[in-house]
Amino acid sequence: MIGLAGGPAAPADAAAGRSGEVVMVADAPALSAPTVAEDCLTPGHCVLRVEGLEKSFRRGLPPRRRQIDVLSGASLMVCSGELVGLVGENGSGKSTLMQIVVGLLGRDGGEVERRGRLGYCPQVPMLWDKLTVDEHFALFARAYGLDDDARERAVADLLVELRFERYRRYRVEELSGGTRQKLNLALALMHQPQLLLLDEPYSGFDWETYLRFWEMADRRRASGMGILIISHFLSERDRLDRVYELKDGEAVVA
Protein backbone atom coordinates (compact mmCIF):
# COMPACT_ATOMS: atom_id res chain seq x y z
CA MET A 1 0.00 0.00 0.00
CA ILE A 2 1.34 3.29 -0.88
CA GLY A 3 -0.03 6.65 0.01
CA LEU A 4 1.06 9.63 -1.94
CA ALA A 5 -0.11 12.27 0.49
CA GLY A 6 3.45 12.78 1.59
CA GLY A 7 3.59 9.11 2.52
CA PRO A 8 6.03 6.31 1.82
CA ALA A 9 5.54 6.49 -1.92
CA ALA A 10 7.72 9.50 -2.27
CA PRO A 11 10.97 7.56 -2.85
CA ALA A 12 9.28 5.22 -5.31
CA ASP A 13 7.80 8.17 -7.12
CA ALA A 14 11.14 9.83 -7.28
CA ALA A 15 12.68 6.65 -8.65
CA ALA A 16 9.98 6.39 -11.29
CA GLY A 17 10.58 9.98 -12.23
CA ARG A 18 13.95 9.05 -13.62
CA SER A 19 12.34 7.33 -16.57
CA GLY A 20 9.04 9.14 -16.75
CA GLU A 21 7.51 11.32 -14.13
CA VAL A 22 4.00 10.57 -12.90
CA VAL A 23 2.22 13.88 -12.62
CA MET A 24 0.27 14.31 -9.41
CA VAL A 25 -2.08 17.23 -9.29
CA ALA A 26 -3.09 17.46 -5.66
CA ASP A 27 -5.61 20.29 -5.64
CA ALA A 28 -5.97 21.06 -9.31
CA PRO A 29 -9.58 21.41 -10.42
CA ALA A 30 -9.43 18.80 -13.19
CA LEU A 31 -7.15 16.59 -15.19
CA SER A 32 -6.41 17.30 -18.82
CA ALA A 33 -9.19 16.45 -21.21
CA PRO A 34 -8.86 12.88 -22.45
CA THR A 35 -7.99 12.38 -26.07
CA VAL A 36 -7.35 8.68 -26.46
CA ALA A 37 -8.86 7.27 -23.28
CA GLU A 38 -12.50 6.38 -23.22
CA ASP A 39 -14.46 9.45 -22.20
CA CYS A 40 -16.22 9.21 -18.88
CA LEU A 41 -19.43 10.99 -18.05
CA THR A 42 -17.85 13.64 -15.85
CA PRO A 43 -14.29 14.27 -17.06
CA GLY A 44 -14.03 17.24 -14.70
CA HIS A 45 -14.09 14.82 -11.80
CA CYS A 46 -11.47 12.42 -13.06
CA VAL A 47 -8.84 11.30 -10.60
CA LEU A 48 -6.77 9.21 -13.00
CA ARG A 49 -5.91 9.61 -16.65
CA VAL A 50 -3.58 7.13 -18.35
CA GLU A 51 -2.90 7.74 -21.99
CA GLY A 52 -0.82 5.83 -24.52
CA LEU A 53 1.16 4.01 -21.84
CA GLU A 54 4.13 1.98 -23.12
CA LYS A 55 6.33 -0.44 -21.21
CA SER A 56 8.80 -3.12 -22.25
CA PHE A 57 10.99 -5.40 -20.21
CA ARG A 58 14.30 -6.85 -21.33
CA ARG A 59 14.97 -10.48 -20.57
CA GLY A 60 17.98 -12.76 -20.95
CA LEU A 61 21.62 -12.05 -21.65
CA PRO A 62 23.27 -11.03 -24.94
CA PRO A 63 23.21 -12.36 -27.60
CA ARG A 64 19.88 -13.88 -26.56
CA ARG A 65 18.64 -10.71 -24.94
CA ARG A 66 15.14 -9.85 -26.09
CA GLN A 67 12.58 -7.20 -25.48
CA ILE A 68 9.12 -8.05 -24.22
CA ASP A 69 6.52 -5.42 -25.00
CA VAL A 70 3.92 -5.45 -22.23
CA LEU A 71 2.07 -2.17 -22.71
CA SER A 72 1.82 -0.54 -26.11
CA GLY A 73 -0.52 2.41 -25.92
CA ALA A 74 -2.79 1.56 -22.97
CA SER A 75 -5.27 4.30 -22.05
CA LEU A 76 -7.92 4.52 -19.36
CA MET A 77 -9.65 6.93 -17.03
CA VAL A 78 -11.14 6.78 -13.54
CA CYS A 79 -13.43 9.47 -12.19
CA SER A 80 -14.45 10.36 -8.70
CA GLY A 81 -17.33 8.11 -7.64
CA GLU A 82 -16.53 5.39 -10.18
CA LEU A 83 -15.69 1.75 -9.67
CA VAL A 84 -13.70 0.72 -12.74
CA GLY A 85 -12.46 -2.78 -13.53
CA LEU A 86 -9.25 -3.84 -15.27
CA VAL A 87 -9.26 -7.41 -16.56
CA GLY A 88 -6.95 -9.43 -18.77
CA GLU A 89 -5.13 -12.73 -19.02
CA ASN A 90 -2.29 -13.64 -16.70
CA GLY A 91 0.75 -11.70 -17.83
CA SER A 92 -1.24 -9.17 -19.85
CA GLY A 93 0.31 -6.27 -17.89
CA LYS A 94 -2.38 -5.30 -15.35
CA SER A 95 -0.04 -5.10 -12.36
CA THR A 96 2.62 -3.42 -14.49
CA LEU A 97 0.15 -0.69 -15.44
CA MET A 98 -0.84 -0.16 -11.81
CA GLN A 99 2.76 -0.05 -10.63
CA ILE A 100 3.50 2.63 -13.20
CA VAL A 101 0.50 4.67 -12.02
CA VAL A 102 1.69 4.39 -8.42
CA GLY A 103 5.24 5.32 -9.35
CA LEU A 104 6.91 2.02 -8.47
CA LEU A 105 7.90 1.41 -12.10
CA GLY A 106 9.04 3.82 -14.77
CA ARG A 107 7.41 3.92 -18.17
CA ASP A 108 8.79 4.04 -21.71
CA GLY A 109 6.11 6.29 -23.15
CA GLY A 110 2.69 7.79 -22.60
CA GLU A 111 1.24 9.95 -19.88
CA VAL A 112 -0.08 9.36 -16.38
CA GLU A 113 -1.90 12.07 -14.49
CA ARG A 114 -3.61 11.56 -11.19
CA ARG A 115 -5.29 13.72 -8.65
CA GLY A 116 -5.58 13.64 -4.89
CA ARG A 117 -4.52 11.15 -2.22
CA LEU A 118 -3.65 7.71 -3.54
CA GLY A 119 -4.22 4.36 -1.89
CA TYR A 120 -2.60 1.25 -3.37
CA CYS A 121 -3.25 -2.36 -2.45
CA PRO A 122 -0.59 -4.44 -4.24
CA GLN A 123 -1.17 -7.95 -5.56
CA VAL A 124 1.43 -9.32 -3.14
CA PRO A 125 1.02 -7.71 0.29
CA MET A 126 4.02 -5.61 1.29
CA LEU A 127 4.04 -6.31 5.02
CA TRP A 128 6.69 -6.86 7.66
CA ASP A 129 6.59 -10.30 9.29
CA LYS A 130 7.86 -9.16 12.68
CA LEU A 131 5.52 -6.18 13.08
CA THR A 132 2.05 -6.48 14.56
CA VAL A 133 -1.14 -5.31 12.89
CA ASP A 134 -1.25 -2.28 15.21
CA GLU A 135 2.37 -1.45 14.42
CA HIS A 136 1.55 -1.46 10.70
CA PHE A 137 -1.30 0.96 11.30
CA ALA A 138 0.99 3.22 13.36
CA LEU A 139 3.68 3.16 10.69
CA PHE A 140 1.32 3.96 7.83
CA ALA A 141 -0.55 6.61 9.84
CA ARG A 142 2.77 8.37 10.36
CA ALA A 143 3.58 8.14 6.68
CA TYR A 144 0.14 9.43 5.71
CA GLY A 145 0.43 12.28 8.21
CA LEU A 146 -2.61 11.22 10.28
CA ASP A 147 -2.81 12.42 13.88
CA ASP A 148 -3.62 10.00 16.71
CA ASP A 149 -7.36 10.72 16.69
CA ALA A 150 -7.72 10.31 12.93
CA ARG A 151 -5.71 7.12 13.05
CA GLU A 152 -7.74 5.60 15.88
CA ARG A 153 -11.01 6.44 14.16
CA ALA A 154 -9.87 5.01 10.81
CA VAL A 155 -8.39 1.88 12.37
CA ALA A 156 -11.42 1.20 14.57
CA ASP A 157 -13.76 1.49 11.58
CA LEU A 158 -11.63 -0.71 9.31
CA LEU A 159 -11.15 -3.39 11.94
CA VAL A 160 -14.91 -3.62 12.37
CA GLU A 161 -15.69 -3.41 8.64
CA LEU A 162 -13.23 -6.19 7.82
CA ARG A 163 -13.76 -8.03 11.08
CA PHE A 164 -10.23 -8.61 12.26
CA GLU A 165 -10.21 -6.67 15.55
CA ARG A 166 -8.95 -9.67 17.47
CA TYR A 167 -5.69 -9.75 15.49
CA ARG A 168 -4.51 -6.26 16.42
CA ARG A 169 -1.62 -7.57 18.52
CA TYR A 170 -0.66 -10.43 16.22
CA ARG A 171 2.57 -10.25 14.25
CA VAL A 172 2.10 -10.60 10.50
CA GLU A 173 3.96 -13.93 10.49
CA GLU A 174 1.20 -15.26 12.79
CA LEU A 175 -1.67 -14.24 10.48
CA SER A 176 -3.52 -16.36 7.94
CA GLY A 177 -3.28 -15.41 4.26
CA GLY A 178 -6.79 -13.93 4.22
CA THR A 179 -6.13 -11.81 7.31
CA ARG A 180 -2.89 -10.51 5.77
CA GLN A 181 -4.94 -9.52 2.76
CA LYS A 182 -7.40 -7.69 5.05
CA LEU A 183 -4.50 -5.76 6.54
CA ASN A 184 -3.15 -5.04 3.04
CA LEU A 185 -6.52 -3.57 2.10
CA ALA A 186 -7.03 -1.67 5.36
CA LEU A 187 -3.63 0.03 5.04
CA ALA A 188 -4.57 1.27 1.57
CA LEU A 189 -7.83 2.72 2.93
CA MET A 190 -6.92 4.26 6.26
CA HIS A 191 -6.16 7.77 4.93
CA GLN A 192 -9.38 7.87 2.87
CA PRO A 193 -7.75 8.15 -0.54
CA GLN A 194 -9.48 9.91 -3.43
CA LEU A 195 -8.03 7.38 -5.89
CA LEU A 196 -7.82 3.76 -4.80
CA LEU A 197 -5.90 1.15 -6.82
CA LEU A 198 -6.66 -2.46 -5.93
CA ASP A 199 -4.67 -5.31 -7.48
CA GLU A 200 -6.75 -8.44 -6.89
CA PRO A 201 -7.53 -7.32 -3.34
CA TYR A 202 -9.67 -10.24 -2.25
CA SER A 203 -7.59 -13.28 -3.13
CA GLY A 204 -7.77 -15.38 0.01
CA PHE A 205 -10.99 -13.84 1.32
CA ASP A 206 -13.72 -16.21 2.41
CA TRP A 207 -17.15 -15.75 0.82
CA GLU A 208 -18.56 -13.54 3.61
CA THR A 209 -15.53 -11.27 3.51
CA TYR A 210 -15.66 -11.17 -0.27
CA LEU A 211 -19.27 -9.94 -0.15
CA ARG A 212 -18.39 -7.45 2.56
CA PHE A 213 -15.53 -6.20 0.42
CA TRP A 214 -17.97 -5.22 -2.35
CA GLU A 215 -20.20 -3.45 0.16
CA MET A 216 -17.17 -1.49 1.33
CA ALA A 217 -16.27 -0.63 -2.24
CA ASP A 218 -19.85 0.51 -2.93
CA ARG A 219 -19.86 2.75 0.15
CA ARG A 220 -16.62 4.37 -0.87
CA ARG A 221 -17.74 4.86 -4.43
CA ALA A 222 -20.87 6.56 -3.08
CA SER A 223 -18.69 8.86 -0.99
CA GLY A 224 -16.84 9.96 -4.15
CA MET A 225 -13.77 7.75 -4.17
CA GLY A 226 -12.50 6.73 -7.61
CA ILE A 227 -11.55 3.03 -7.59
CA LEU A 228 -9.63 0.97 -10.14
CA ILE A 229 -9.75 -2.74 -9.42
CA ILE A 230 -7.91 -5.56 -11.13
CA SER A 231 -10.01 -8.67 -11.27
CA HIS A 232 -10.18 -11.99 -13.07
CA PHE A 233 -13.86 -12.58 -12.58
CA LEU A 234 -16.12 -11.48 -15.38
CA SER A 235 -19.01 -12.29 -13.04
CA GLU A 236 -18.16 -9.06 -11.22
CA ARG A 237 -18.89 -6.97 -14.26
CA ASP A 238 -22.32 -5.95 -12.98
CA ARG A 239 -20.76 -4.36 -9.93
CA LEU A 240 -18.55 -2.07 -12.01
CA ASP A 241 -19.23 1.19 -13.83
CA ARG A 242 -16.80 0.36 -16.61
CA VAL A 243 -14.43 -2.46 -17.43
CA TYR A 244 -11.21 -2.23 -19.44
CA GLU A 245 -9.64 -5.34 -20.88
CA LEU A 246 -5.88 -5.33 -21.37
CA LYS A 247 -5.14 -7.16 -24.58
CA ASP A 248 -2.03 -6.98 -26.75
CA GLY A 249 -0.79 -4.11 -24.61
CA GLU A 250 -3.86 -1.92 -25.08
CA ALA A 251 -6.81 -1.31 -22.76
CA VAL A 252 -10.15 -1.59 -24.52
CA VAL A 253 -13.53 -1.03 -22.94
CA ALA A 254 -14.96 -4.52 -22.54
Residues of this chain, 110-149, that bind Mg ion according to CB under 5 A: 123
Partner whose binding site includes residue 91, from Mg ion, ligand ATP, none (CB under 5 to 8 Å by kind): ligand ATP
Name 97's Cβ contacts closer than 8 Å, sequence gap at least 6: 50, 53, 55, 71, 74, 86, 246, 251
70 binding partner (options ligand ATP, Mg ion, none; Cβ < 5 to 8 Å by kind): ligand ATP
Residues 92 to 131 in contact with ligand ATP, rule: CB under 6 A: 92-96, 123
C-alpha closest to that of 225 among 248, 192, 199, 203 = 192
Of positions 7, 88, 119, 193, contacts ligand ATP by CB under 6 A: 88
Q: How far apart are CA 56 and CA 189, in angstroms?
A: 31
Which residue lies nearest Mg ion, judged by its C-beta?
95
d(CA 199, CA 61): 31
User: Directed axis angle between helix 94-102 and helix 9-17, to 10°?
Assistant: 100
- Least Cβ distance, residue 188 to Mg ion (angstroms): 16
- For the segment 50-79, give every residue that binds ligand ATP (CB under 6 A): 57, 59, 68, 70
* 221 lies in the binding site for ligand ATP (CB under 6 A): no
Nearer to ligand ATP, 70 or 159 (CB): 70
Three-state DSSP class for residue 203: coil
In 63-148, which ranges are E strands?
A: 66-79, 83-87, 109-115, 118-121
Window 81-100: contact mask with Mg ion (x via CB under 5 A): -------------xx-----
Residues near ligand ATP (CB under 6 A) are 57, 59, 68, 70, 88, 90-96, 123
Provide the binding-site residues for Mg ion, judged by CB under 5 A: 94-95, 123
